[in-house]
Amino acid sequence: MIQFQALAQTYGTPLYVYDFDAMKEQFESLKEAFRGRKSILAYAVKANSNLSVIKHFAQLGSGADCVSIGEVRRALMAGVPKYRILFSGVGKRDDEIREAIQSDILYINLESEGELSRVEAIAKELGVKARISIRVNPNIDPQTHPYISTGLHDNKFGVEIDAAKRMYIHAKNSDNLDAVGIHFHIGSQLTQLEPIYEAAVIVADLLRSLQAIDIELKFFDIGGGLGVRYNDETTITPYDYAQAILGALKGIDVTIICEPGRFLTANAGYFLTKVLYEKQNGAKRFVVVDGAMNDLIRPSLYNAYHRIEAVGKTSEATPVDVVGPVCESGDFLAKNYPLPAMEHNDLLVVHSAGAYGFGMGSNYNTRGRSAEIAVENGEARIIRARETFEDLIALEREYL
Ligand SMILES: *Cc1c(COP(=O)(O)O)cnc(C)c1O
């Protein structure tokens, strides 16, 4: 049991708390599902990019899936071996491509023919062969929130099958490209296995047709997206997930790469916030708290549900909007959520906040970002200090 009240007392609120033991359990359950197969779990750094979190996974043998050169640098700093680092994302600047090639990471995931040309040109300048993989858009509806669907032609991600084929053939004939992998990632918070299986079949078929023309790839990169339980969702078990992928591959000898983000960190994270006061506007009840959309934007952005626990409160719960101090009507952590009567300084714990929480934060309304705390083997330690006002204005000029 994490001592939320004591942590809030010691470190103040709003506060992010991560259960490192729970993260480890999630990692190991997924690793176990692919046991006996050549596989790499490459933690999707964007889910929670704190260096200590990345380091925690690196020590368990994780790789890193990065979507900016900044994330690649974080992964290297946190001790992820370069041969387990991937660089994905729909738009990469030339300087990012150059640095990724020079860092000698496992491969760059390409998402367009334009990007293939840029990588080839930069590798040529550097006089090297760049390792690449191509993200295929299999045009499968992942049945998730439209903002986190990525595997439909309507989404900006990846290339269609025919374009992917052209790109592999181009790479085969290039002195500066070494195609080593194939990639798909159809969306996030996936709770249905069927679309994942269908996408895997489509991409495995492409892999076979490439083999038939002497293009041999080593890595079958199935992306991330495994959903977690926020409320009452039924989720995919690691075992069923792995079996579906293996079923689609039907014995093709490749190393499977999986890029889990949310699955590893979401339910290991908690966002602690204190009640400032209750108020009533007509019939409508509000609890105003010290945490806001700049700390945790998922409710505002996706209408996401997070379970909220009123620590030590037992009186009857009635529906309330839990809102922050930010000057936006979209600033809420929950709507019509059943909570007991709350008083000044009561503590709320927002659950499932370990993925896309802190990392999506901002300084909107000149609010410093929360501190981040790791709890491991019953011990708490600070892994990021609370931002001060001085931190927020440090880069501003000419104000005197
Ligand atoms: C975001 C992302 C992931 C991780 O997604 P989760 O839903 O957090 O598992 C994996 N791969 C790519 C390419 C991504 O963009």
284 and 234 in one domain? no
Answer yes or no: do 200 and 173 share one domain.
Answer: yes
Same domain for 376 and 256, yes or no, is: no
The span from the CA of 155 to the CA of 171, in Å, is 25
Task: Look at residue 111 and tell me if it is in a domain.
Answer: yes
Per-residue confidence (pLDDT) for residue 335, from 0 to 100: 97
**Is residue 187 located within the same domain as residue 312?**
no
Give the pLDDT confidence score for residue 135 in this predicted structure. Answer: 96
Domain shared by 101 and 211, yes or no: yes
Same domain, 11 and 73: no
Element (H, E) at 145: none
- Given 243, 260, 277, the domain boundary residue is 260
Are 143 and 253 found together in one domain?
Answer: yes
Q: Which of 33, 91, 40, 47 is nearest to 61 (CA)?
A: 40
Q: Residue 153: what pLDDT?
A: 75
pLDDT reported for residue 400 = 65
In the prediction, which pLDDT does 156 show? 79
Asked if residue 88 and residue 205 are part of one domain, the reply reads: yes
What is residue 151's predicted lDDT score, i.e. its pLDDT?
72
- For ligand 1, the distance from its centroid to the CA atom of residue 260, given in whole angstroms, is 6
Q: Residues near ligand 1 with C-beta < 6 Å?
A: 44, 46-47, 65, 67, 88, 185, 188, 223-226, 259-263, 355
Q: Is 327 an annotated catalytic residue?
A: yes
Tell me the C-alpha distance between 140 and 152, whole Å. Answer: 5
Q: Residue 28: inside a domain, yes or no?
A: no
Residue 399, by phi and psi: left (phi above 0), alpha (psi -120 to 50) or beta?
alpha
Final residue of a structural domain among 206, 236, 260: 260
The pick from 43, 156, 185, 235 for probing ligand 1's pocket by mutation, whose C-beta has the most ligand atoms within 8 angstroms, reads 185
Q: What is the position in ligand 1's atom list of the atom closest to the CA of 67?
A: 15
- Is 161 inside a domain boundary? yes
Distance 224 CA to ligand 1 centre (A): 5
Domain count, the chain: 2
Tell me how far the alpha carbon of residue 225 lies from the centroid of ligand 1, in angstroms.
6
Burial classification of residue 397, based on how many CB atoms lie within 10 Å of its CB (0-12 exposed, 13-18 middle, 19 or more buried):
exposed
Q: What is the pTM of this model?
A: 0.96
Q: Does 366 lie in the same domain as 230?
A: no
Q: What is the extent of the structural domain holding 252?
A: 34-260
Q: Which residues contact 229 (CB under 8 A, 6 or more apart)?
A: 235, 267, 352
Residue type at 26?
Q
CATH number at residue 375: 2.40.37.10
Residue 109 CA, closest ligand 1 atom number: 13
Q: What is the CATH number of the domain that holds 58?
A: 3.20.20.10
Helix (H) or strand (E) holding 323: strand 318-323
C-alpha angle 184-186-191 in degrees, rounded to nearest 5: 130
DSSP code of residue 37:
S
Per-residue confidence in pLDDT tens, the chain, 400 aa: 899 999 999 999 999 999 999 999 999 999 999 998 999 999 999 999 999 999 999 999 999 999 999 999 999 999 999 999 999 999 999 999 999 999 999 999 999 999 999 999 999 999 999 999 999 999 888 777 777 777 777 787 889 999 999 999 999 999 999 999 999 999 999 999 999 999 999 999 999 999 999 999 999 999 999 999 999 999 999 999 999 999 999 989 999 999 999 999 999 999 999 999 999 999 999 999 999 999 999 999 999 999 999 999 999 999 999 999 999 989 999 999 999 999 999 999 999 999 999 999 999 999 999 999 999 999 999 999 999 999 999 999 986 6
User: Are residues 271 and 393 located together in one domain of the fold?
Assistant: yes
Rounded (to 5) percent helix, strand, coil in the chain: 35, 25, 40
Q: Is the residue at 22 inside a domain?
A: no
Residue 274 in domain: yes
Please give the Cα distance from 259 to 263 (Å, whole number): 10
Catalytic residue among 1, 212, 283, 327: 327
Distance CA(82)–CA(382), nearest Å, equals: 27
Structural contact between residues 368 and 339, judged by C-beta atoms closer than 8 angstroms: no
On whether both 144 and 244 belong to a single domain, the answer is yes
The b-or-e profile of 120-159 (16+ CB within 10 A means b, else e) is bebbeeeeebbbbbbbbbbbbebebeeebbbbbeebebbb
The length of the chain is 400
- Final residue of a domain: which of 241, 260, 279? 260
State whether 78 and 193 are in the same domain. Answer: yes
